[in-house]
Structure 1
Amino acid sequence: MDTFASANGAPPQGLTSTPQLPQMPWAKDEDELDLAQLLTVLRRRSLMITGVAAGVLGTVMFNTLRQEPVYEGNFEVLVEPVNAEDNLSDLSGLLAEAAPTKGSGLDYETQVQVLRSPELIDQVLEELKAVDPELDYENLLKNLTIRRVGETKIIEVSYRGTDPVKIQATLDALSAVYLKYSLDERQTNLRQGIQFVDRQLPELKGRVDELQGQLERFRQTYNFIDPTTQNQRITAQAQQLSTQRLEVDRQLAEARASYDLLLASGGGEVALQTAPVYQSLIQQLRQVETEIATELTRFQPGSLRIQVLEEQRQRMMPVIEAEAQRVVNARYTEAENTIQILETQNQTIAAAEAQLQNTLTQLPTLARQYSDLQRELDIAVGALGRFLETRETLQIEAAQTEIPWEVIEAPNQPEVPISPNAKRSLVLGIVASLLVSVGAALLLEKLDTVCRTVDELKGLVKLPLLGTIPYQSEFDDSDRQKAGGMGQWLQRRMGKQDMMTADGYYGYGGSQFLESMRLLQTNLMLMGADRPIQSIIMSSAMPGEGKSTVARHLAQTAATMGKRVLLVDTDLRRPTVHHRLGIRNGKGLSDLLSGNASAGDVLQKAMPFVHFYAITAGTMPPDPVKLLSSKRMRLLMRRLEKDFDLIVYDAPPLVGLADATLIAPHTDGLILVSRVNTCDRNVLNHAMDNISFTNIPVLGLVANGVAAKGRGYKYYSSYGYDSKPGLPASDVEPIMEEHPKALAAASNGNGGGLSIADFMKVGKDN
C-alpha cells in the first residue's frame, strides 16, 4: 500500500487521467402532481384532511339545523297565444323600417320590469292590507321573483316567506292584478296599432306610385330595361361592330394595295392581263403578225398579200391602244370608288363604336340609378304589403273576443319548506368539506418544501435511482463520537452475537439496511460493465442526509464482497469518518497534501480480515479548498486508483461549498445522497443547478432514510434467512489466537494503534 507514496512527489511517467463515465441528464420539475403523488399526499395528510372535513361538515349542518323554515309558492302565466303569428312584432318592424324579427314579439325583460313597477305593486299592496298591514314595496320585491321559463311564452311568478297563508294571499293578489293589466294593455295595443296603420297607408301608396312613375320614365329616356340585359346587349353590339370594323379595314387595305399597284410601273399591264376585250384584240394582232411572218416566207415584202396584212395590223393598233387606255382608266376609277366607299363605312363604324363606348361609360351610373329606384320601389311595396296584412290581422283580432293572459298554473299554498334542506345541506357539506380539506392539504403540501417520498426525489432531480436505503437505528453511527477502537469492536464480536449481526462485518444477516447496501454496490458494478467504476464521490445537497453513513457502509460492503476498498474523508471542515469507523485522526488527508505526513502515516485499516482501508481528514487546515484543488490532490487520486479496486470519497455538501465540485471531475462520478423527510426542495434544486453548471459527472441518486415498510423491504425478513446470521464468538476466538497483535490491540481498547503492516498482514492471512 506504500506504492502511492510517490503522490507527494513528481507524477510517474505516462500517468494519464482516468476516463469518466458520461453524466446523466436531468430536467427541472414542473411542480405538477400526478395521481400517484396526489394519493401519497392525501394519505400523508389524512389526519388533517379528516379534521378539516369534520369541522366544515359540522359547521354546515349546525347552520342548517338552526335556520328558520322558508316556504315558496308560485304560479305561471301564458302571456302570448301558443299559435300567435307575432303581429305586433311585424308592426314594430314596420315602425323601424326593417324586416320583422323572428320569435316572440314581446320584450320579456322589459315586461318583467313592468310587472315589478310600483304602479302594479301598489295595487297588490292595497289588496293585502287586510292580510299583512306591515308589508311594503321593498319587502315584497325582496321576496318576489319574476322570470321567463326558458324560451317559452310563460312567465313564472314566485314568492317566498315564512307564513304559507300569507304567501297564498300574496300570489292570488299578484295574479289578479297581472291579468287585469294584461287585458287593458292588449286592448290598448290593438287600437293603437290599427290607428297607426291607417295613418301610414296613404303615404305608402303615394310613395309606391311615385317610384313606379320614375322607373317608367327612366326606361323610356335611356332605352333601359335592366342592368343585366342592357350590359349583355351593349356587349353583343360592341362585338358585332368590332367584327365589321375589322372586315372593312381588311377590304380597305386590299383596295389601297390594288390602287397603288395600278399607279406603280407596270401596274397597267397587270390590269390589262385581266381585261377580256383587250386580250382578245391582242390575240387577233398576234394572229395577223403570225400570218405576215408566214407569208413572208412565200412572198416578197412589197407583195399585195403582205401589204394587206400589214394594213390590217396598222388598223388594229389604235383600237388596242384605245382599249388599253379604257381598261386602265376604268380600273383607276373603280379602285378610287372602292376606297371612298370603304373609308365611309369605316367612319360610320367608328362613330357607332364611339357612341357605344359613351353608352358603356354611362352604364354604371344608369345601372346604379336604376338599382336605387328598383330597391326603393321594392321596399315601399314590401312595407305597403306588410301594413295591409297587419291591418287585416289586427282588425280580425279586434273583432274577435279579446283574451288576456292565461294562468296555466294557479297559485298554491306551500306545505314543504324549501329551506333548510337537510339532505341537500348534507351533500353540499360533504362536497365542501372534501374540497376544503383536500385543498388545505394540497396547499400545505405546496408550502412544504421537504421531500417526503422517493418518487418526489426522483421527480425533482431526474437522476437514476441507484438504491433506497431504509433507516435502521443500529446502523446509524452519526452520533458515534467515541468509537472505542478496534479492540471495542472485537469485544462486541466476541461477547455479543446480536451486535455482530447488526454490524454485519461477516455474516450480513437478514438486515434490510445491509441488503440495500449490497444492492447499491451491485448497481454500481452493473453501471461499470464496460469499464469498472473505480472511484466515486459521495455528497448531498445539505448536511444531515446520511452521506457519510452511506459512504462508510458502501465501502464496507464492497470490501466484504472481495474488493480492495479505500474510504477517504475529504470533508476537511467537519470530518466524521474517523468517528464512524472508530479510528484515530492524528494525521490524515490534509497532512498528506501539505507534506506533513507520508502515505504510511495516513493509511489505516478500517476493518480486519478484509481489504477495507481509510484515510481520515487529518488536521483541520485553514483553507481546505486550496488543498483539494491542488495538483498534489489530483496526482494522489490517480495513484490511489492504481492500488485500490474502489475508492469512496466522503465529500462535504454541494450547496454553499466548492469542495465536492473540485474533486468530482477527477472521479468516475458523483452519487447524490438525499434523505426523505429531510431534504429541502429548494436546496436540492440549487444543488442540481450547481451540478449542471459545473458539468460534474453524476452516477445517480441514493434515497436515504426510506421507511422500512415501503418499497418491498417487508419481504427481506421472510426470504432466504432460515439460518441464524452472524459469526459466533466461538469462531472468532481461534482467529484472535492466531493474531496476537490484533488481540493485544483489542485488549488495550485502541484499535487505531495497529500499524499498517499489521493490518495488511491480518488481511493477507485471512
Structure 2
Amino acid sequence: MIENYPSQNSSSNGSHNSVPPFPQNQPVRWAEEQEDEWSFQEFISILRRRSLLITSVTITMMTLVVINLVVNEKPPEYEGSFQLLVEPVNDVSDDPKVLDVVKDLNSQKSSLDYESQIQVLKSPELMKTTLKQLQASYPEIDYYSLVESLKINRLQETKIIEVRYQSSNPKQTQVVLERIAENYLDYSQLRRQTKLRQGLQFVEKQLPFIQNRVDQIQKELQLFRQRYNFNDPESQVAQIASQTVEFSRQKQVIDLQLAQVRANFAILQGKNGATTILNNAPLYQQLISQIRLFDLQIATESTRLQEENPSIQTLKEKRASLLPLLRQESERLLSVEFAQVATQFQNLEAQSQELAKIEQKFAQRRKQLPILIRQYTELQRKLQIATESLNRFLSTHENLQIEISQSDVGWQLLQRPTTPDIPIDSFSTQRNFILGLVASILAAIGITLLVEKLDNTYHTVDELKKKLKQPLLGNIPFEKQIDTKKNRASNQKSPLANIQNSSCQATARLGVLLDKEYGDSSTHFSEALRVLYTNIQLLSSDRPMRSIVISSAMSGDGKSTVALHLAQIATAMGQRVLLVDADLRKPTIHTLSGLNNLWGLSNLITTNLPVGEVMRQLPSMNQLSVITSGPIPPDPTKLLSSQKMKQLMADLHNSFDLVIYDVPPLLGLADASLIVPHTDGLLIVVRIEKTNSSMLKAALDNLKISRLNILGIVGNGHKSRSNSYYY
C-alpha cells in the first residue's frame, strides 16, 4: 500500500491494483531526411553562426598573403610591343590604303595555322640570329630567359600577331623588340616562302601515289561486281529473297504433284485399283458385254436344248474365244497405266531434285552474301578514304600555290616597337592584396562549410524540426544561471553526512530560485517550460497525460534538468506531481534538487519498504514529491523489468496527476524500453549544438524496433538572440 502521499482520484478507484491501459506498440514515426543541399537562408545562418571561424581563417590567410607580398616583392617590370600583319587582306573600298584587317566571316577561311606559326616564331632555330645580336650588348640573355619574357598572341580573329616583351630595363626591352621585329620580317620574306615550296613539293610527290591507289581500288571494285554480279547490297538481298520465295513456291507445287502420283500408284496396287481402270476402258467393257451376251444366249438355249447340242457348243466356243482377248486387253490397260504413273513419277522426282539443287545453291549464296557485303563495303570504304585523301591533297596543293603567290608580299609591321615608360606592375601589389583578400574570404567560407558538413549536431530549432519527423513540443532556451548551478552541483563531492546536513539549506535555495524564475512571466526559460507542459497535455484530447518518461540519446543533453523543472512547472500550475529518478546508473535528480539519496527507487523494488519512507517533498512546493534513485544496484535492468516495478508504476499512476520518470540515455541501454510501455509515452530531450545526430538516429532505430509511443522531442540549450516575449 502507498502511504504518506495524496490518495488517488475517485475516477480511478476501480483500477488500483492493476496496470492502467496505456497506449502500446504505437509505430515510431521518426526519420531523418537526407538533405545535402542548403537553401540561401540556411547558408546565411551558417555564416552568422560560424562568423568567428570565418574571421579567424580570413585573418590568418591575409597575414600569410601580406608576408608573401613583402618577401616576394620584385623590381618593376617594363613591357613593350609591336604588331605584324602576317596575311594579305582584301580591299574594301577604292582607296588602297584602307585595309580590312578584321577577318570577314563570309570570306574564305585563313590558310595559316596561327597556333603552329606562333610556336615556330618561338623556336630556337628562328631565335638563333636574334640571340647572337642581343648577347653582344646583353650577355645575360639566353634562349630560355628570352622566351619566358616573350609573349606572342593573335589579336582575336584578325590577321595580326602582337609580340610583347618585358624586363626590368626599359632600354633593353626596346632593343630586344627591334631585333625580334627585324628577324620576323626577314623570316617572312625568305624562310617562310621556302618552307611553303617544300610543302608544295611534298604534296606534288605524294599525289601520283594517292591517284594510283584510287585507281587500283576502283579496279578491284569493278572486278568484284563482275565476278559476283554484285551491284548493290540492298538490291542483292531483295533479289535473292524474291528468288528464294519463287523457288519455294515451285517446290511446294512439285511436292504436291508427287504426293498425288504416289497416291494414284498406291491405288493401282490395291484391289480396287485395277477394277477402276478396267471399268473406264471402252474396249474392255465391250468384250465384257459380248461375253455376258453369250452367257445369256447359252442360258436361254440350255432351257430348251441339250448340252451337246451344236448351237450351245458353238456359243460356248465363241465365248471361250473372247476370254483370251479380254485377258490381253486387261493386261495391256494395266501395263499402260502403270507406265504412265511411273513416267510421271520420274519426271516429278527429277524436277524436285533439280529444285533442291537450286535451293541449295541459293542457301550457299545467302550464307556467302554477308561476306560479299562486308567485302563490298570494305572496298567502298577504302575507295572513299582514298578519294577523300586525294581531294585533301588536291585542295592543299591549290592552297599552297595561292599562299606562295601571296607570300611574295611578306609580312607588314603595323606598329613599331614602343618604348615603355611606366612599369606594368605598378598596381600589382594592390591587385594581389585584393585578390588575396577575396581568396581568403572564399577559403574561410569553404572551410566553414566543410566544418559544418562534418558537424553532426543540431544547431537551430529550425534544423531540428526540418530533419526530424516528430512533433517539437518544446524549445528550452539556454539559461546561464541554471547551467551554472547544475555544474556547481555536479562538481560537489561531499560525504553523505554533509548531504543530510545541507538538505534543508539547498531546498530553501531552490525555492528562492523557483520564485525568481517562475514568478516573472516574461522569463524565457519559465515560459518555454509552460509551453512544453501545455503541449504535452494537448497531445491527448480524450484523457490527460498521467505519466511520461523523459530521456535523451546520450548523456549530458539535460534530460534530468528538464524533468526537474517540468515537474516544478506542473506543480506551480496546481498539479499533484511525482518526480521519479529511474536512472539507476548515474542518478542526478537528488543532486539537482538538493535531496539526500540514502533511500530511493532501488529500495522500494528490492525491499518491502513503504513508498512514503522514500518519498520527499520540497518545502517550497509541498505538492511536488520526489523519489530519488537510491543506492545504485549491480543490475538495474533486472529491477526495472520486475513485476514489482510494474505494480509500483501502476499505483503511482493512479495516485498522482502527473508522474515524471527520469531514465538513463537511450543509446546502448534497455532501461527506457522497460519503463515506457507502462506510461503514456516517451519525451526525448535533444541538446542544441551537442547531441550527435548519428547517435540520435541509432537510438531512434532501436525505438522503432520496440514500437514505443514517442510523444515528441524537446530542444534544450537553444541560445536565442531575441529578447521578445513572443519568441
What is the TM-score when the length of structure 2 is the normalising length? 0.68
In structure 2, what is the Cα distance between the partners aligned to 1:627 and 1:251?
A: 99
* Matching residue within 191, 204, 209 for 2:201: 191
- Per-residue CA distance 1:297-333 (angstroms, 9 max, x = gap): 9xx989xxx999998x789868866864674465356
Hey, what does 1:642 align to over in structure 2? 654
Within the candidate set 148, 171, 189, 1:142 is matched to: 148
**SS of 1:704's equivalent?**
strand
Alignment of 1:502 with 2:516, yes or no, is: yes
Q: Does the 8 A contact of 2:84 with 2:414 survive in 1?
A: yes
Residue of structure 2 aligned with 1:434, choices 423, 437, 441:
441
Which of residues 165, 174, 179 is equivalent to 2:174?
A: 165
1:527 aligns with 2:529: no
Matched with 2:569 is 557
Contact 2:57–2:444, Cα closer than 8 Å, also in 1: yes
Give 1:470's aligned residue: 477
Is the aligned partner of 1:331 residue 2:333?
yes
Residue 403 in structure 1 maps to residue 413 in structure 2: no
The one of 343, 348, 351 aligned to 1:349 = 351
Which residue pairs with 1:182 in the alignment? 192
1:513 Cα deviation after fit: 2.5
Could you report, residue by residue, the CA deviation over 1:246-303 in whole angstroms, capped at 9, with x for unpaired residues?
4774685477468657xx689479537532x676687789999999999999xx989x
Q: Sort the Cα spacing of 1:203 and 1:707 in 2 relative to 1 into closer, same or farther, 3 A.
A: closer
Does the CA-based 8 Å contact 1:664-1:696 persist in structure 2? yes
Distance 1:562 1:361 in 2: 103
**8 Å contact from structure 1 (residues 168, 411) kept in 2:** no
The separation in 1 between residues aligned to 2:509 and 2:466, in whole angstroms, is 41
Assess if the C-alpha contact under 8 Å between 1:607 and 1:613 holds in 2: no
Q: Does 1:49 align with 2:34?
A: no
1:271 aligned residue = 278
Tell me the residue number matched to 1:763: none
AA partner of residue 530 (structure 2): R
Counterpart AA for 1:141? V
Report the alpha carbon displacement of residue 27 of structure 1 after superposing the two structures with TM: 3.9
The answer to whether the 8 A contact 1:510-1:716 is kept is no
Shift of 1:51: 4.8
Instruction: Give the gaps of 5 or more residues in structure 2.
Output: 8-14, 91-108, 490-498
Q: How does 1:585-604 map to 2 (within 5 A)?
A: 588-589=600-601, 595=607, 598-604=610-616
Say which of 619, 623, 642 aligns to 1:611: 623
Q: Partners of 1:488 and 1:385 in 2: how far apart? A: 104
**How far apart, CA to CA, are the structure 2 residues paired with 1:455 and 1:273?**
111
2:45 matched to 1:40? Answer: yes
The equivalent position to 1:714 in structure 2, one of 716, 719, 724, is 724
Contact 1:671 1:701 in 2 (8 A): yes
| Aligned equivalents of 1:389, 1:444: Cα separation in 2 | 60
Give the Cα separation in 1 of the matches to 2:229 and 2:670: 101
Provide, for residues 362-416 of structure 1, a one-character-per-residue CA deviation record: whole Å limited to 9, x for no partner: 6466996898699769967995897599679848965996334986995675779
Deviates more, 1:679-688 or 1:177-186: 679-688
CA separation in 1, counterparts of 2:536 and 2:616? 25
Q: Secondary structure at the match of 1:566?
A: strand
Cα distance change on mapping 1:351 and 1:633 into 2, 3 Å: closer
Tell me how far apart the structure 2 counterparts of residues 80 and 601 of structure 1 sit (CA, whole Å).
113
Residue ranges of structure 1 left out of the alignment (5+ in a row): 83-102, 494-498, 718-766
Q: Which moved more, 1:333-342 or 1:391-400?
A: 391-400
> Which amino acid in structure 2 is aligned with residue 40 of structure 1?
S
Contact 1:485 1:583 in 2 (8 A): no
Structure 2 residue 709 is the aligned partner of structure 1 residue 705 = no
- Give the letter aligned to residue 636 of structure 2: V
SS in 2 for 1:715: coil
CA offset digits 1:42-79 (Å, max 9, x no partner):
11222442454356467658867956446475868878
* Distance in 2, Cα, partners of 1:658 & 1:266: 102
Give the AA of the match of 2:347. Q
SS at match of 2:516: helix
**Distance in 2, Cα, partners of 1:244 & 1:656:** 88
**Structure 1 residues 517 and 197: alpha-carbon distance in aligned structure 2, compared to 1, 3 A threshold:** closer
- 1:375-454 map, 5 Å: 394=397, 402-404=405-407, 413=417, 425=432, 428-429=435-436, 431-445=438-452, 452-454=459-461
- Is the contact between residue 77 and residue 155 of structure 1 (CA under 8 Å) also seen in structure 2? yes
- Mapping for residues 35-184 of structure 1, pairs under 5 Å: 35=39, 36-53=41-58, 56=61, 66=73, 68-69=76-77, 71=79, 73=81, 116-126=122-132, 128=134, 134-144=140-150, 159-162=164-167, 163=170, 165=174, 168-169=177-178, 172-173=181-182, 175-176=184-185, 179=188, 180-184=190-194
- How far apart are 1:714 and its partner, in Å? 1.0
**Aligned counterpart for 2:19 among listed residues 16, 24, 29:** 16
Going from structure 1 to structure 2, the CA distance change for 1:431 and 1:255 (only over 3 Å counts) comes to same
Q: 1:390 to 1:433 in 2, by over 3 A?
A: closer
CA contact (8 A) 1:545 1:678 kept: yes
Secondary structure of the residue that 2:202 maps to in structure 1? helix
TM-fit CA distance, 1:187: 0.8
Which string of whole-angstrom CA distances, capped at 9 and with x for unpartnered residues, describes residues 525-563 of structure 1?
112334432223444566665444433332232223232
What is the rounded CA distance, in whole Å, between the counterparts of 1:223 and 1:586 in structure 2? 113
Q: Distance in 2 between matches of 1:686 and 1:292?
A: 126
Query: CA offset at residue 522 of structure 1?
Result: 1.0
* Distance of 2:387 and 2:605 partners within structure 1: 112
Aligned to 2:545, the other structure's residue is in SS state coil
Deviation per CA, 1:645-684: give whole Å up to 9, x if none. Answer: 1122345666788876765554434433444456566776
- Give the number of the structure whose alpha-carbon radius of gyration is greater: 1
Provide the aligned length of Structure 1 versus Structure 2.
668
Q: CA deviation at 1:597?
A: 5.8
SS in 1 for 2:19: coil
Does 189-198 or 55-64 show the bigger shift?
A: 55-64
Q: 1:169 is aligned with what amino acid?
A: E
CA distance in 2, matches of 1:650, 1:266: 113
* CA 1:336–1:177: 2 relative to 1, 3 Å: farther
AA in 1 matched with 2:344:
L
Secondary structure at 2:724 match in 1: helix
